[in-house]
């Protein structure tokens, strides 16, 4: 429910016309109703959480909601290093920090919460958290890559959306290492005529897409390593398959 509410709100923020191959809530009902619909889902979420009568799990999921909004704020600010000629560690760290907040926190803390609700030990709950965190980071890296590589029909939402929104994600940040002129475009958030087309072309001429895929694969492997510390089971096998699916998906 938190995920659904965040996407309903995200489509308002991004002014997106489609989601999962259909009209977005904002496109179908307008921004005001979409914001209220997201709020309503969150209200119902709070009731469901309270009914669990588990303060630790309630706190974990409340933190997820805070992280989602924090991540969205950080994304709106884009990169704080935009005025440097070359990307540096803090540019990428800022992107990964934002990625944890807007995507990985939900998966990590949900995995941890289910481990706690299942009556597991604190160390197993931490393994579940690690699995979810690395899976979430891999998921968003792939999402940011697919924004460059797939089609709107396959993706079920607009492609090339990030550059249009002024967002510098992993493919363009990696490409910036090879093509320093991207720094200026990133700084002005691809706002000048021709910026989007230029950035798109340089990303495709660079190794940015391949580097993004490799980074996603390394997080996916970290997630698998965490889950492999648990005793073998059908559930473990399912989670490993899920991790593989995250990096091979096309939509």
Which residues lie near ligand FPP (CB under 6 A)? Answer: 2, 5-6, 9-10, 13-14, 16, 38, 42, 65, 68-69, 72, 102-103, 157, 161
Query: Applying CB under 5 A, which of residues 10, 67, 195, 217 lies at the interface with Mg ion?
Result: 10
Closest by CA position to 165, among listed 191, 201, 143 = 191
Residue closer to ligand FPP (CB basis): 141 or 185: 141
Nearest to Mg ion of 52, 76 (CB atom): 76
- Report the interhelical angle of 170-178 vs 89-99 (nearest 10°): 170
What is the C-alpha separation between 159 and 181, in angstroms, rounded?
23
CA 97 – CA 90 distance, rounded (Å): 10
CB of 89 to ligand FPP, least distance (A): 23
Instruction: Closer to ligand FPP by CB, 5 or 113: give it.
Output: 5
Burial class (CB in 10 A: 0-12, 13-18, 19+), 240: middle
| Least Cβ distance, residue 1 to ligand FPP (angstroms) | 9
Segment contacting Mg ion by CB under 5 A, of 3-11, 48-56, 73-81, 92-100: 3-11
Half-sphere exposure of 139 (CA within 13 A, CB side): 18
Which of residues 14, 67, 143, 217 is near Mg ion by CB under 5 A? Answer: 14
């Amino acid at each position: 429910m938190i995920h659904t509410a965040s996407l309903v709100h995200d489509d308002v923020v991004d002014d997106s016309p489609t989601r999962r191959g259909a009209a977005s809530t904002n496109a179908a009902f307008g921004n005001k109703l979409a914001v209220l619909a997201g709020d309503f889902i969150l209200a119902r979420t709070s009731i469901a959480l309270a009914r669990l009568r588990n303060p630790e799990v309630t706190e974990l999921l409340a933190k997820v909601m805070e992280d989602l909004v924090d991540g969205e704020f950080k994304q709106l600010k884009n990169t704080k290093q935009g005025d440097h000629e070359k990307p540096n560690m803090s540019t990428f760290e800022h992107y990964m920090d934002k990625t944890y907040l807007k995507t990985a926190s939900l998966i990590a803390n949900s995995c941890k919460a289910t481990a706690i609700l299942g009556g597991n030990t604190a160390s197993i709950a931490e393994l579940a958290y690690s699995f979810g965190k690395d899976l979430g980071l891999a998921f968003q890296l792939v999402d940011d890559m697919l924004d460059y590589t797939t089609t709107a029909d396959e993706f079920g939402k607009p492609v090339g959306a990030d550059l249009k929104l002024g967002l510098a994600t992993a493919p363009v940040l990696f490409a910036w290492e090879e093509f320093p002129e991207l720094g200026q475009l990133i700084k002005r958030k691809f706002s000048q005529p021709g910026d989007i087309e230029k950035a798109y072309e340089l990303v495709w001429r660079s190794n940015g897409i391949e580097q993004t895929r490799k980074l996603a694969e390394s997080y996916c492997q970290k997630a698998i390593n965490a889950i492999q510390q648990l005793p073998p089971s059908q559930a473990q096998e399912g989670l490993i398959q899920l991790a593989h699916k995250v990096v091979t998906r096309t939509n």
